Structure 1
Amino acid sequence: MKTKMTLGLVAAVLLTQAGCTTKIRSLPMPAALQTRNAQDVALYFGDEAHAPVKQTFGNKEFAVRMNRQPESSKEVTCNLALTKALQQLRDYAREQHANAVINVKTRFQSTITASATEFTCGASLNGSTLAVRGDVVTLETN
């Protein structure tokens, strides 16, 4: 009797933990985030070409976790997390009076992506997590 109860408890714990496993995903960068608005802080992912740097304000990282809504897919939740993290990065750049963030990378744990076409996100049944990092700068303008 005790053995059956112990096995039942172990099985319940394993099933609960299996549902919460976070998977590292590489997803396509949303098109809206790939365009640059001259009125906003420009984002340059990875080694994308940009104007010469006039002033640098250092490297900044923001991590975001978004809870998944029942009707949302993991991809949608990852996109929302990315959008929120990039907005925080832009807000910080504005506070520094910078006009761009260069060398932008996305990260989940030790998996890093430096790409204008893909980003890294950790997705589970409960939500999505990622971090964005970049160099906050003022670029020369013509």
Structure 2
Amino acid sequence: MKTKIALGLVAAVVLTQAGCTTKIKSLPMPAAVQTQNGQDVALYFGNQTHAPVKQSYGNKEFAVRVLRKVENSPEANCSIALEKAVQELRDYARAQHANAVVDVRTRFQHNESASSTEFTCGASLNGSTLAVRGDVVMLETQ
């Protein structure tokens, strides 16, 4: 009897944990994040070319977790998390009177991407998590 109870408890734990597994995803960068038009703070991912740096305000990182809505796929939730993190990064840069963030990278735990076409996110049935970081700068203007 005790063996059956123990096996039942182990099975319950395994099933519970299986539903909580976070998958690391590399997803296409949403066009809205890549667009510089109309933005007072430009974003340059990885080693994208930009004007020379006039002044640096340091490196800044924002981590975001978005709870999953039933109607959203994990991928859609990752895009929402990215947009929120990028907005926080832009808001911070704006407060520093910077006009750009360069060497922008996305990360989930120790998995990092410096790509301008893809981003890294951790997605589970509960939500999506990622961090965005970059160097907040004032670029020379022409």
TM-score class normalised by the smaller sequence? over 0.9
Partner of 1:123: 123
TM-score for both structures, normalised by structure 2: 0.98
Deviation at residue 32 of structure 1 after TM alignment: 1.3
Counterpart check, 1:16 vs 2:16: yes
Distance across 1 between alignment mates of 2:37 and 2:97: 16
Summarize the alignment of residues 1-142 of structure 1 with structure 2, pairs less than 5 Å apart. Answer: 1-142=1-142
Deviation at residue 51 of structure 1 after TM alignment: 0.3
Deviation at residue 37 of structure 1 after TM alignment: 2.3
Distance across 2 between alignment mates of 1:105 and 1:14: 34
The number of residues matched between the two structures is: 142
Deviation at residue 16 of structure 1 after TM alignment: 0.2
Deviation at residue 65 of structure 1 after TM alignment: 0.3
RMSD, aligned α-carbons: 0.7
The residue type paired with residue 69 of structure 2 is Q
The residue type paired with residue 86 of structure 1 is V
Distance across 1 between alignment mates of 2:124 and 2:11: 20
List 4+ stretches of structure 1 deviating above 3 A.
Answer: none
TM-score for both structures, normalised by structure 1: 0.98
Unmatched runs of 5 consecutive residues or more in structure 1: none
The residue type paired with residue 75 of structure 2 is E
Distance across 2 between alignment mates of 1:32 and 1:81: 13
Distance across 1 between alignment mates of 2:70 and 2:40: 33
Deviations 1:41-99 (A, max 9, x none): 00000000000000000000000000000111001100000000000000000000000
Name the SS of the counterpart of 2:94 in structure 1. helix
